[in-house]
């Protein structure tokens, strides 16, 4: 009855046309209400510009006045095949944390490159961040083809650069498409200016992404979010992050390693469930009266993750105030919150050029990557990101603020 | 899991995260379809026993149907309900006719809410806003900090990734938590349809008109519609090309009214 849904993000260097592409897609598929179109036309005119399709996404006055996206936004779109959530990300380096906020919610990505400018600083940084976020389906669009008179040669030069760079960080673009977001070429309809290109339109390309399936067949992991006392029941609530949890299942709570059996999977005003799978927010009761609290991870007793107080990670720093290696940060991984005792920063890396800035560093600055070893004050349950993203990724918190995102590496 | 199950699961996760962090929490119930859906999800999240109160900011200009609906279901669901008014402003004659609409919204909604938060010492509020309602709302976070003046610092919002959200506020701020951010209008109606959630009768067409968005009777206009059942509303929304808030006066005054209102803490 309902169509499937896919969330994808558009990333790339500042001004390469991310927001314009989204706006154009909506215009050319008649997906915008008339009053929205009128508003965009009116504001563009007041600013003395052609219709700025980017204004569909760029809604803050500051964004429109300056022609730049400040914060990520999401729009809802649909084709006959499925529903889409389109996430617009800001290209400016200053707003990289907003790009990460947007991109971390995506299941696929479109990397956009201005054909006249080619691969730039933020093209590379964004591409790297996509790989760090674990986004595997990536399409490339080469934009502003109108600025190079739809030249096949220029398209091929830029494509070559993009592919070389993607290859160096392990990204395999599934498609590369020449477009003009502003003029609408190859956005919703085929361009008559690029007969040399036989591929699809942007609109058709979207339907070639696939919706990733939930990790229901992996070992069961159920991080405890909270424990509620409802009547005479103690209900452990949380979301199944992987696998399937079943009534009667033997589970072990980590890191304490205490054991129990699932007595029931509770629902409000509905009969209890027999089982629940990855993605479901549920509540369970146990057969014995074990003490359990937020931050423990219920796992299938026959397949358990690693418990450690020291692990290797890649960390992306996103605060203007640098991190120091001995700083007392907090880690949040699923529902676990664990204090850091100290870090050894093996390498400081420029997140755009991916060059090593310094080995054995004492600090890490805004928009830099660290390869580091983190030691925690208490044991933490982790998995390697590439095997088990749900327990292989974490944020670092300073005071009340998230200041870094990290993934656990071998 | 189908699409509605996924939407529901994410919202319940966010609601439970909010309560895990903030014990001084309230759910802002405007009695409209969104906050009523939010209430439904919160009841599911806590197995029917809401551990925090609902808050109704009453401008006194709401439709009578809204008051009836509020009183009926707060009793039926056994809810703890706080009703707040800016009595001073009302006594001084504040209303949409007495002043411009922005000032009225500010006095009767935003100020009333400020006074209530200060009095009840709420650390966080659950709100039923959605990204598809407005271009400004498309930029919201799930957990959004406000300062004591209620200012929304939209130029420097906190990062949010992998369902890790901004943590506890200090004394100066409260957090707005938005568990329905990822829903669309039609998602809400499909969910209401599936779950049989009671909604205010103003949403159903009478004599060829219905409300798509409800609030104060002074500032909301009905749309032309024959949709007098939930099924027909879903059907109508599958084909409509007009915006949900087209009947709302506040959104029309200028392109940036909504941005200004939100920056000032309007909900
Ligand atoms: N000639 C030409 N101009 C374009 C094209 N696409 C976008 N532009 C223009 O490029 C400028 C930047 O476009 P945006 O869509 O705002 O770029 P962006 O990538 O969203 O920028 P940020 O979000 O700030 O990183 C605008 O003035 C657009 O009109 C195109 O295909 N051809
Ligand atoms: Mg943009």
Helices (H) and strands (E) in chain B, counts: 9, 8
pLDDT for B243: 65
Cβ–Cβ under 8 Å, residues B217 and B61: yes
A contact residues 204-263, partner B, Cβ 8 Å cutoff? 214, 225-226, 228, 230, 235, 237-239
**Residue B187 clears pLDDT 80, i.e. is over it:** yes
| Closest C-alpha residue for ligand 1 atom 5 | A182
pLDDT tens by residue, A75-104: 999 898 999 999 999 999 999 999 999 999
pLDDT for A317: 97
Cβ contacts of A308 within 8 Å, gap of 6 or more: A379, A380, A382
Q: Which CATH class is domain A306-408?
A: mainly beta
**Residue B252 clears pLDDT 60, i.e. is over it:** no
Residue where the block lists tokens 């896919």: A6
B contact residues 205-264, partner A, Cβ 8 Å cutoff? 241-243, 246, 255-256, 259
- 3-state class of B257 per DSSP? helix
pLDDT for B130: 96
DSSP assigned state of B108: I
Asked if residue A17 has its Cβ within 6 Å of ligand 1, the reply is yes
Q: Read out DSSP for A80-120?
A: SSEEEEEEE---SGGGHHHHHHHHTT-SEEEEEEETTT-S-
**Interchain contact, A237 vs B17, CB within 8 Å:** no
Query: What average pLDDT score do residues A53-81 get?
Result: 92
Half-sphere exposure of B31 (CA within 13 A, CB side): 27
**Residue B105 clears pLDDT 60, i.e. is over it:** yes
- Chain A contact probe: residue of B4, B10, B22, B47 with most A CBs at under 10 A: B47
DSSP assigned state of A372: E
pLDDT tens by residue, A293-351: 999 999 999 888 989 999 999 999 999 999 999 999 999 999 999 999 999 999 999 99
pLDDT tens by residue, B49-99: 999 999 999 988 888 899 999 999 999 999 999 999 888 888 888 887 877
Q: Is A401's Cβ below 8 Å from some Cβ in B? A: yes
Distance in Å, alpha carbon of A42 to nearest chain B alpha carbon? 9
Q: Band of the pLDDT at B264, cuts 50, 70, 90?
A: low
Cβ contacts of A305 within 8 Å, gap of 6 or more: A221, A254, A297, A299, A381, A382, A383, A388, A391
The ipTM is: 0.94
pLDDT for B215: 82
Cβ–Cβ under 8 Å, residues A181 and A187: yes
Q: Is B44's Cβ below 8 Å from some Cβ in A? A: yes
User: Is it true that domain A221-300 has CATH number 2.40.30.10?
Assistant: yes
**C-alpha distances in Å from residue A28, one per residue of A21, A22, A64, A209, B184:** 10, 10, 21, 21, 21
**Residue A362 clears pLDDT 80, i.e. is over it:** yes
Same fold, A5-206 and A221-300: no
pLDDT tens by residue, B156-184: 899 999 999 987 656 557 899 999 999 99
Of A1, A34, A214, the CB nearest to B241: A34
Question: Three-state secondary structure along B85-104?
Answer: CCHHHHHCCCCCCCCCHHHH
Give the mutation target among A10, A15, A112, A145 for probing the ligand 1 site: most ligand atoms within 8 A of CB: A15
**Residue A23 token pair:** 């706006």
Q: Angle A121-132/A152-168 helices, nearest 10 degrees?
A: 40
**Residue B148 clears pLDDT 80, i.e. is over it:** no
B contact residues 129-148, partner A, Cβ 8 Å cutoff? 131-132, 134-136, 138-139, 141
**Residue B251 clears pLDDT 60, i.e. is over it:** no
**Residue B47 clears pLDDT 60, i.e. is over it:** yes
Query: What average pLDDT score do residues B4-30 get?
Result: 96
pLDDT for A7: 97
**Residue B199 clears pLDDT 90, i.e. is over it:** yes
Of A1, A83, A225, the CB nearest to B17: A225
**Interchain contact, B158 vs A239, CB within 8 Å:** no
Which of A275-279, B100-104, B146-150 has the largest mean confidence? Answer: A275-279
**Interchain contact, B164 vs A402, CB within 8 Å:** yes
Q: Give the closest residue to A161 by CA, choosing from A183, A140, A189.
A: A140
- 3-state class of B148 per DSSP? coil
Distance in Å, alpha carbon of A4 to nearest chain B alpha carbon? 7
> How far is it, in rounded angstroms, from Cα A288 to Cα B203?
48
End-to-end CA distance of chain B: 32
| Run of H or E residues at A167 | helix A152-168
**Residue B246 clears pLDDT 60, i.e. is over it:** no
**Interchain contact, A397 vs B154, CB within 8 Å:** no
Ordered domains of chain B (ranges, CATH): 3-184+254-264 (3.40.50.620), 203-252 (no CATH)
Distance in Å, alpha carbon of A157 to nearest chain B alpha carbon? 35
Q: Band of the pLDDT at B238, cuts 50, 70, 90?
A: confident
**Interchain contact, B160 vs A83, CB within 8 Å:** no
pLDDT for B81: 96
Q: What are phi and psi of B58, to 5 degrees?
A: -100, 110
Q: Is A203's Cβ below 8 Å from some Cβ in B? A: no
CATH classification number, A5-206, choose in 3.40.309.10, 3.40.50.300, 3.10.350.10, 3.40.50.920: 3.40.50.300
pLDDT for B244: 66
What are the residue boundaries of the structural domains of chain A, listed by start?
5-206, 221-300, 306-408
Cβ–Cβ under 8 Å, residues A261 and A250: yes
pLDDT for A3: 85
pLDDT tens by residue, A99-141: 999 999 999 999 999 999 999 999 999 999 999 999 999 999 9
Q: What is the mean pLDDT of chain A?
A: 94
Which of B254 and A156 is assigned the larger pLDDT?
Answer: A156
> How far is it, in rounded angstroms, from Cα A322 to Cα A364?
5
Q: Give the closest residue to B136 by CA, choosing from B154, B148, B149, B153.
A: B154
Q: What is the mean pLDDT of chain B?
A: 88
Percent above pLDDT 70 for chain B: 89
pLDDT for B231: 95
| Run of H or E residues at B60 | none
pLDDT for B122: 93
Number of Cβ within 10 Å of residue A53's Cβ equals 26
Number of Cβ within 10 Å of residue B155's Cβ equals 13
Residue where the block lists tokens 């933490």: A380
**C-alpha distances in Å from residue A108, one per residue of A85, A238, A350, B121:** 11, 26, 24, 42
Which ligand 1 atom minimizes the distance to the CA of A122? Answer: 25
| Closest C-alpha residue for ligand 1 atom 9 | A17
**Residue A160 token pair:** 């070559």
């Amino acid at each position: 009855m309902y169509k499937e849904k896919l969330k994808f993000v558009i990333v790339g260097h500042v001004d390469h046309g991310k927001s314009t592409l989204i706006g154009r897609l909506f215009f050319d598929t008649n997906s915008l209400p008339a009053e929205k179109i009128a508003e965009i036309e009116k504001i563009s005119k007041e600013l003395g510009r052609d219709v700025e399709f980017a204004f569909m996404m760029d809604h803050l006055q500051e964004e429109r006045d300056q022609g730049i996206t400040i914060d990520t936004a999401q729009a809802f779109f649909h084709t006959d095949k499925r529903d889409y959530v389109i996430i617009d990300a800001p290209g400016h380096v200053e707003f990289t944390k907003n790009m990460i906020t947007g991109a971390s919610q995506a299941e696929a990505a479109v990397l956009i490159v201005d054909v006249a400018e080619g691969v730039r600083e933020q093209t590379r940084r964004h591409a790297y961040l996509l790989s760090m976020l674990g986004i595997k389906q990536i399409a490339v669009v080469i934009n502003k083809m109108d600025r190079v008179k739809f030249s096949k040669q220029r398209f091929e030069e830029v494509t070559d650069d993009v592919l070389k760079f993607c290859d160096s960080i392990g990204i395999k673009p599934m498609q590369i498409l020449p477009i003009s977001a502003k003029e609408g070429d190859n956005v919703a309809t085929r361009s008559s200016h690029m007969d040399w290109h036989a591929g699809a339109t942007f609109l058709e390309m979207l339907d070639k992404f696939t919706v990733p399936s939930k990790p229901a067949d992996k070992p069961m992991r159920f991080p405890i979010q909270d424990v509620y006392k409802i009547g005479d029941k103690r209900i452990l609530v949380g979301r199944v992050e992987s696998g399937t949890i079943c009534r009667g299942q033997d589970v072990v709570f980590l890191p304490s390693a205490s054991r129990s059996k699932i007595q029931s999977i509770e629902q409000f005003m509905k009969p209890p469930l027999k089982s629940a799978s990855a993605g479901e927010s549920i509540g369970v009761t146990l057969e014995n009266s074990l003490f359990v609290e937020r931050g423990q991870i219920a796992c299938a007793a026959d397949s358990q993750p690693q418990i450690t107080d020291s692990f290797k990670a890649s960390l992306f720093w996103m605060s203007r105030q640098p991190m120091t290696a001995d700083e007392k940060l907090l880690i949040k991984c699923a529902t676990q919150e664990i204090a850091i005792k100290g870090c050894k920063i093996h390498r400081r890396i420029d997140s755009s050029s991916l060059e090593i800035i310094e080995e054995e560093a004492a600090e890490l600055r805004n928009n830099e990557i660290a390869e580091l070893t983190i030691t925690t004050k208490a044991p933490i349950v982790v998995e390697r990101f590439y095997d088990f993203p749900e327990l292989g990724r974490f944020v670092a918190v300073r005071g009340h603020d998230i200041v870094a995102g990290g993934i656990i590496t071998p | 899991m189908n699409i509605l199950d996924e939407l529901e699961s994410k919202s319940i996760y966010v609601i439970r995260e909010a309560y895990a962090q903030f014990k001084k929490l309230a759910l802002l119930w405007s009695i409209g379809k969104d906050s009523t859906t939010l209430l439904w999800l919160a009841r599911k999240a806590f197995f029917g026993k809401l551990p925090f109160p609902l808050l109704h900011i009453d401008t006194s200009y709401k439709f009578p149907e809204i008051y009836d609906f509020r009183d009926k279901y707060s009793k039926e669901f056994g809810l703890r309900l706080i009703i707040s008014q800016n009595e001073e402003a009302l006594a001084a004659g504040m209303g949409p006719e007495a002043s411009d609409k922005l000032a009225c919204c500010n006095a009767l909604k935003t100020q009333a809410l400020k006074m209530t938060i200060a009095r009840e010492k709420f650390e966080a509020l659950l709100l039923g806003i959605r990204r598809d309602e407005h271009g400004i709302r498309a930029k919201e976070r799930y957990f959004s900090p406000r300062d004591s003046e209620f200012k929304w610092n939209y130029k420097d919002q906190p990062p949010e990734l992998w369902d890790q959200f901004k943590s506890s506020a200090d004394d100066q701020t409260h957090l707005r938590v938005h568990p329905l951010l990822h829903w669309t209008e039609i998602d809400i109606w499909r969910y209401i349809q599936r779950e049989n959630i009671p909604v205010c009768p103003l949403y159903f067409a009478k004599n060829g008109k219905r409300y798509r968005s409800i609030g104060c009777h002074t500032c909301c206009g009905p749309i032309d519609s024959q949709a007098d059942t939930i099924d027909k509303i879903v059907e109508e929304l599958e084909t409509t090309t007009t915006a949900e808030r087209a009947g709302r006066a506040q959104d029309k005054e200028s392109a940036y009214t909504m941005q200004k209102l939100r920056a000032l803490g309007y909900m």
